[in-house]
Structure 1
Amino acid sequence: MSVTPPRESPATAALASQLGSVLRLAGMGAWAVDFERGEVSFDAYLLELLGAEPTEPPRLSRPSWEALVHPDDAARQKEHWQQCLRGERDDYRIDYRLRRRDGQWLCCVFRATVQGRSPQGLARGLVGSYQECPDTQRRQDNLQVAASVFTHAREGISITDPAGKIIDVNEAFTRITGYSREEIIGRNPRILQSGRQSPEFYAAMWKAISTRGHWSGEIWNRRKDGSLFLEVITISAVRNAQGVLQHYVAVFTDVTSERDTERQLESIAHYDVLTGLPNRVLLFDRLRQFMVHCQRRSSSLAVAFLDLDGFKAVNDQHGHAVGDQLLIALSRRMGEALREGDTLARIGGDEFVAVLVDLEGSEDHQPILERLLSAAAKPVALGRQTLQVSASIGVTLYPRDYADAEQLLRHADHAMYQAKQAGKNRMAMFDVAHDAAQASQRQNLADIRAAHEQDQFVLHYQPKVNLRTGEVVGAEALIRWQHPERGLVPPGQFLPVIENHVLSTVIGEWVIASALRQMSHWHAAGLQINVSVNVGARQLLDPGFAQRLQALLAAQTDVAPDCLELEILESSALEDMAQVSELMRRCQALGVRFALDDFGTGFSSLTYMRRLPAEVIKIDQSFVRDILSDADDLAIVQGVIGLAKAFRREVIAEGVETMAHGKVLLSLGCELVQGYGIARPMPAEAFPGWTQAWAAEHPPAPVAAPAPPPPKTDR
C-alpha cells in the first residue's frame, strides 16, 4: 500500500518553527545552498552569531558567503561543495570560520546533505545544520533555556536514544497520550501506533530521517485509553560535533478536533445539507473524472438533468418543512433507482443531476432513467398525507456530445426544458446537431451585429432603365457585406440569417438611411436618380415603422420623399394583409412609393394587386429569364403586364440578362427593365460614370410602341 506524503499544514509549519527554536537554544541552526541560483540562505540565528542586524536578509550570494570564510578554510570549504556538486559525495561535516561584523572569527561546524540532482547528475543544492564550535558555558546556558521550553511547551515532546527507547517526555506529551512519565520512559514510541499507517509508511519516514535528518507529517496514534488521535509531528535526528547520532527528538500537536472541523467544512462544501447528496461542486469534480475514465475505456456516460414537476405547488400548499421531507424521501428513492457507481446530486431547490457511467450501448441509459422517472412519480407517504410529483428529465450523452462538464450540464438542462414543454413526466434527449445549428446561428447573428457596428455593410446600385426612351429612371439599392476576410459577401449568405430577427429591422433601416444619403449626394452633383430599397416582412409588421421612416426622410430634406421607393415581397404581406395595406397607406401619405416585388410567385397575386396599394409591379426574374425559350413563361409575363395595365400600375421586369430579353419585353409593352443585360450592381461611386456611358450609347429616341401579340389560343 503506497502512502502519499501528507501536505504541510499551518500546524506543521508551527511545529517546525518550534523545533527550530529548540535547536537554536541548543546552539544549532539551519542553512542551505542553492547551486542553481548561486545563493546561500540561513536562519536568523546565524545573523545573531555574526553580529548582523536581525532585519538583514537571511541569504547571501555565493561570492559574498565565500568572502566571509577564513582564508585558511576557504579551499577546504570549496572542495567539499565541488565534490557534492559533481556527485562525488552526498553529504559532509566540516568546521570553518566566518568573519563577524566586529572582525572576530566565528567557528562553526557545518553539516550538509545534497538536495536533488539535475538530469546531468549535478547537485541542485545542499541543506543542513550548523553549530557553534564547543563553548561549554554558553552551551550550558542554552541547555537550561531549552529545558525550560521542553517542560512548558504546549506541544508534546519526546526524546529517545539512538535505539529508539524513550528517555524523556514533557508534560504536554503525558496530557495528550494519557501515559504518565513513569509509564512511558524506557518504552518504544511504537506503543502509540494505531495500526492505520502501513509498514511502508514507517519505512519511508525513517528513510527520510536517516537521509535528511528530519521528517514532518501527520500520523494517527492511539492514546492509553484506546482512543485515536491525529498528530502533526516533526522528528529530528540529533548528532554530536563528530556527526554521531545521539538522540531523536519528536515534537507533535494533537490536531484531531481541527481535522474533524475540516471534515465537517469539507462535507458542507461538497454535500447537500438537506439530502446528503453530492452538491454542484462535488458533481463537477466527479463528472470530470468520469469523462477521463470514458476516454480511457472508450465507453460513454449520460448526464441527466432532473427537475421535479409540481414541487412548487407542494411547497405553497403544505409548507417548506413538508417540501423538505418530500425531497429527502425522493432523494433516497431516486438514488436506489441508480446503479452502484452512478452519481445522483442535488444542485438546486428541486433540481437533481444523475451521471450514469460505463454505458456501452447507445440505449443503455434508457432503462435506468425510466426507473428514475418511476421513482420520482410514485406517491410518497408523509405522516397522514400522501404527496405525489413527477419529473422531467433532459439527457445528453458523452462523448457523442463532445463538450466540457459545464456545457454537458447546460445541454442536459436545455433538453429538460424540452421535456417540460412536451408535457412533463418524461425525458428528452439533447440534439447535438440541432444545438450545433443553433450555435452557428448565434455566431452568425453575432458576426452580423458586429459587421453593422463596424460599418462593414455597403450598398451597390443596379440601374433601372426605360428601353423605349433610353432614360435611366432609377436604381435598386442592394446590400453587400464587405467582410475583412471573406471579401464581398452577397446578401443571400447573410440576410436569411436575420430574416426573423430584430437585426433585420435594424439593418433594413440602415439601408433606407444610406440610400437617402446617397441620393442627397447624387442630387447635389446634378444626378437625379430615384432609389428603391427592399423592405422585409418584420419591418412591414412593425407598428413604429412609418414613424421611423418619417424621421429618416426628415433627416434628408433635400431628397423628395417620392424619390424613395419601397419594394415588398408578395410573401411579406401574407401574414396580415390588412396591417400591411394600412402601413403602406401611412407611408404613401409621407410621399413614398411602393413596388410589389417578385410579382407572380405568390399564392394569390390578383388579391395582392387589388388590396395592396403599390404603384409599381415587378415581374419576377424567374419568369423573365426563359421568355426566349419557354412559351409558358412568355404567357405569364404577358399576363402580368396586362394585369398591371388593367390596374393602372407601372410595370418593371427584373432579371433581364440580354438585350434580346429587353426587345421581347418592349414588344409586350414593358418599357422599364433591370438586370445583368443592362448592368450589374455597382458601388455608388461608379454609378455616375455608368449613367454617362449609357446615355452616350442610348440617346433619347422615342419609338412608337408596337402592338402586343395576340393572346395564345392553344393553351
Structure 2
Amino acid sequence: MLKRLIKQFAVSGALISLSVAVVSLTGSGLIAGDNTIGFKLVASAFIAVLFGVICLVLIRLNLTLQQTIAQREESELSLVKLSSAVTNSGASIAITDTKGIIEYINDKFCELTGYEQSDTIGRSIDLIGLTQFPNGEEVPTWDMNCLKDNWKGDLLSHKKDGSHFWCTTTISAVYDKNNEISNYIVSGIDITELKEASSAMKQLALFDVLTGLANRRLFIDRMGQSIAASQRRQNIAALLFLDLDQFKRINDTLGHDAGDELLLIVAERLKSCVRAQDTVARLGGDEFTILLNDINDIQSISHIANQILKELKEPIMLGKHEVIISTSIGITLTPNDSQEVDSLMKNADLALYQAKERGRDCYYFFTEELNTKALKLLHIEQELRHALQMDEFSLVYQPQVCLKTGSISSIEALIRWNHPERGLVAPDEFISIAEETGLIVQIGEWVLKNACMQTQMLQQLTGQSIKVAVNLSSRQFSDPNLEQVIADVIEETDLNPKYLEIEVTESMLMNNIDKVIEQLNRIKSTGSTITIDDFGSGYSSLSYLKRLPVDILKVDREFVRDIPEDLNDMEITSAIIAIAHKLNLKVIAEGVENIDQRDFLVINKCDYAQGYYFSKPLTFEDLYRFFTAEQLKSA
C-alpha cells in the first residue's frame, strides 16, 4: 500500500510541477512589463521545479525500497528452499547466519542432540560444544572457528542432557547473488560407535589386555621418543626390566585366575612407584618394563628401584591365601649405555639375569662386562649348534656299584663336548647355555639315543644285564611329548626298557605336584625306572615323596663329600637312606671318593654308590675293557 501511494504521489506531483513551470515561464514572457507579477511567476516556477525534484527523489526511494523488499523476499525464499531441502536429510542439519546464530534445524538435529526447535532458534551453534573435557583429556570439540566454508572434522559434542557424542561435521557456506556469504549449513553424522570401536582397537593394539598397561609395541615407541628427548635435553632416561621371582609357583599352585589377579595388583603397585611422565608396560607373562624419563642423577633411579622392591614384597591376598613375592630388576641407561632401542632392551635383559644370579630380590645396572659375557654366550650357542651338526659330542659312563656285591649294577651316561680348538669341554661350561637357548632338547635326545644304543651294544658284548641312567633337563621334563620320545628311542635301539633309568633332579618336582606326578607316570608307562637326582638339595620333595612314582633316590654329593668329618652330613645321609627304605625305594650315593665314605654307606645299608673311589667316568672302549677285566678277575 505504501509503495502504491508513494508512486502515485510522485507521478502526480511531477506532472503538476511540469505544468506549473511551463505556465510560469510563458506568463513571464507575456507580461514582462509588470515587475511584481514577473517576480511572482519566477518564484512559482522555482517552487514547481523544486517540487518536481522532490517527486523524483521519492520515485528513486520507491525503486530502492522495492529492491530491498525483493532481496528480503528472495532471502526468505532461499532459506525456505534450503530448509525444505534438508528437512528429510539423513544427517543432522543446522542453518545459521554469518555470526553462527541458528535459524533452522531439522528433525535429525533434534533427535541427535535432544534439543527442540524452541531451544535452538536464535541461539549460537556453539551450544553443542563442550564446556569441560571428559577425564581431563583434550579432544577436538565444537568451536566458532569451525564456522567457515568447506570445514570438515570429527568433533566431540554434547547433548541437552549433558552426555557426549562424536560427530563427523561438514560446514558449507551459502552465497547470495552478490557472491557474499549469507548463511552456513552445518551437517553432522553420529560416529560415536565408530569412534568407540576405533578406540577399542587402539586399546588392543597398544595396551595389555589384562592389566591395561602399555604393551611391547607402545613401549618401544615411547622408548624411541625418550631417547630423542634425552639427547635434546642433555639428561638421561632409564630402562628397567623386571620379572616376578615366585610367579610360576603361585600360578601353578593357586591357578591362572589367581595368577591374573596377582599381575593386576603388581601392575597397580608398579604404577604407584613412578611418576606421571614415566611408562610402565607388560611385555607378557610376568615380565614388566619401566621407562623413567628426564632423570638427572642415578641416585633417583636407585631410589625408585628400591621402592619397587619394597612395594612388591608387601603381602598380597589371593582369595584365602596370603602370598609374598619379590622381583629382580635389570637397569640400563641412555645415552650412557646405548642410544638404540634394541641394544637397550638387550642390556636391560642382561642386567636382569645378573640380578637373578646375585640371589634375586635386587637390582643390577648394566655394564660393558655383561655385554662381553653375553657375546661370549652367543658365540658358545653358535658353536653348540655347529657341534650338533658335526657330531662333536660324545658320552662317558661312570659305573654305579652295588655295595652288597661290589659288582657294577648300572652306569650313568655323561656328555662331553669334543671342541675342535679347546679340546674336551666339561658339561658345566655349556649345559646352562644349552638350557637357556633351548638346544638342550636336541642335545638331550642325542644323549638318550646314544646311551641306549651303546648300552644295548655293551650288553651284547659282555653278556651282562647293565642298566644305563640318563639325566633329563628341566626343558625335556616339561615336554608333553617326552613319553613318545623315550618310547621311540627304546624301539629304535632295541633296548629292553627295564634297563633304562631316567634321572630327574629334585628341583624339577617343586612346582605343580599333580602335573609332576602325571609326567612321571607317563615316563614309567614306557617301562623305564625313575631316579630322583641330587636328593636333599631342595626343600619340599620330602613331603611329596610318598606320592611320587619313583624307584630310586640319589643322595646329593654335598652330603657325602664331608663324611665322616661332618656329623650333620652323616645324620642327613643316614636319615635319607632310612626314609627311602621305609618307602621301598633304593638309594644311590654319589661322590664317594674314599673308603671311609664307602664304609659309612655300607653300615647304613645304602644300596648303590658311585664316585672316583670306584671309577672315574669311562669312554665306551674303556668301559668295555673295565668289564672284561672284571670278568677275568671273577674267572
> Could you state the TM-score of these two structures normalised by the residue count of structure 2?
0.46
Structure with higher Rg: it is: 2
Structure 1 or 2: larger helix share? 2
Task: Calculate the TM-score normalised by the size of structure 1.
Answer: 0.41
